[in-house]
Homo-oligomer: A and B are copies of this chain.
Amino acid sequence: MTGGGDVGATRGTGPERLDPRALRKEFPLLAPDRPGGPVVYLDSAASSQRPRAVLEAMDEYYTTTHANVHRGVYAIAEEATRRYEAARVAVGRFVRAPRPATEIVFTKNVTEAINLVAYTWARKELRPGDAILVSELEHHANLVPWLMLAEERGIELRFLPLAPDYHLDLTDLDRLLDGARLVALSAASNVLGTVVDLEPVVAAAHRAGALVLVDGAQLAPHRPVDLGRVGADFFGFTGHKMLGPTGIGVLWAREELLDAMPPFLGGGEMIRDVRTDGFTSNDLPWKFEAGTPPIAEAVGLAAAVEYLERVGLERVHAHESALTAYAIDRLRDAHGEQLTIFGPEPDPLRRSGVISFAFAGVHPHDVAQVLDTRGICVRAGHHCAKPLMRCLGVGATTRASLYLYNDEDDVDALVDGLAEVRELFA
């Protein structure tokens, strides 16, 4: 392979493995000559880096075509609108949304997407005594909105427990679903790397008459998603974790649901008519997009999904699975008893590249601090999953998370860095 600019991003249909070293050339922050020194970036579960193509798409938009969307007659405004709506369709197709032009709502992040459902569908449909089923591994984004609702409306919040193998324990699923109106579940844990087998849960929920909301923040960036197959009713994900910009998230929901939901934020764009005594809502999806939307961000996110499709999600997935297995192996080999990994064993289908661990005798803050001096970026903390931390019996973990641009060298750097941690705190 030659070192050309987009060598790594050849169309992702072939069987060849992706080449992280070539890909990395397209990510300025990961360049060996980064001002401030090169970094080993192992924190993509918090936020990914982005390729030049994404920044260029936004800059190109701003410098040639920016105008407010949907209301302008002139050419630039028309073109801005076209690009914004084309971005919606591209992002919808990325997750195989059946009707991307109407069922994809842009939000500011996935947190807003989930809150939107809590404020509209749930506040309209749920009654005191109804139950919502979440799991013990939820990110706060898929927990606090339901806690707020539970408190406000006398809804019961139930928890699918975690099994000792770090997968969800579905033994009591049917009992837990009794009286539940909604199941709100992460597709993949941002702490454990657990990938949830959604199909049985969705099937059981629908049998029990409950709808299913899936928090896909840690799934959509890493493997192909087919919303038809997932079978969920609501699905959210977030731009900055999938090579896209900050400031944009996505809610997908079935058209009938969106149609029946009351609007969320009120303002321009989401209305068809406003009188001094009332208003009528706009068509989908604009009914849920009050105010000027994240236009450049949508253009950037479309460039990100195009990039991911060019690389090939299957290939990203295969690469991460192999690298995860390598990492867990190397870590255990090198640090044995001192290291405890919180998460399932390597498994291409049921595990992602998020690796949380404890390092005996050294607090995660200190682990991360020592690694930082070697340019290795890992996260230390509760990862916005405090109830899960309590389940694990720890206050915090150290977390390394892998993405398409990581390779064995990054893992080796982590393993070596941990040796220094051990020495320092011996």
Contact = CB atoms under 8 A, between A and B. Distances in A.
Interface centre among A64, A108, A276 (most CB of B within 10 A): A108
Interface stretch (A288-296, A312-320, A325-333, A346-354): A288-296
Contacts of A265: 111-112, 115, 145
A159 B77 contact: no
Grouping DSSP codes into helix (H, G, I), strand (E, B) and loop, the A interface class, with mixed when no group exceeds half, is mixed
Nearest to A36: B64
A74 B377 contact: yes
Contacts of A146: 266
A298 B267 CA distance: 22
Number of copies: 2
Contacts of A292: 47, 109, 111, 238, 240, 246
A378 B245 contact: no
A292 to B, nearest CB: 5
A290 B111 contact: yes
A49 interface: yes
A271 B144 contact: yes
Interface residues of A, number: 96
24 contacts: A29-B62, A29-B64, A39-B76, A46-B67, A46-B72, A47-B67, A47-B68, A55-B63, A71-B381, A73-B365, A73-B372, A74-B371, A74-B372, A74-B376, A77-B377, A108-B294, A111-B291, A114-B267, A144-B279, A144-B290, A246-B297, A249-B291, A269-B384, A294-B294
Q: Which 7 residue pairs across A and B have the least CB separation, nearest first? A: A111-B291, A144-B266, A247-B247, A111-B267, A247-B294, A28-B63, A268-B384
Interface of A: 28-29, 34-36, 39, 43, 46-47, 49-50, 55, 58-59, 62-68, 71-77, 107-112, 114-115, 118-119, 139-141, 143-148, 151, 157, 159, 238, 240, 245-249, 263, 265-271, 273-279, 290-297, 365, 368-369, 371-372, 376-381, 383-384, 386-387, 390
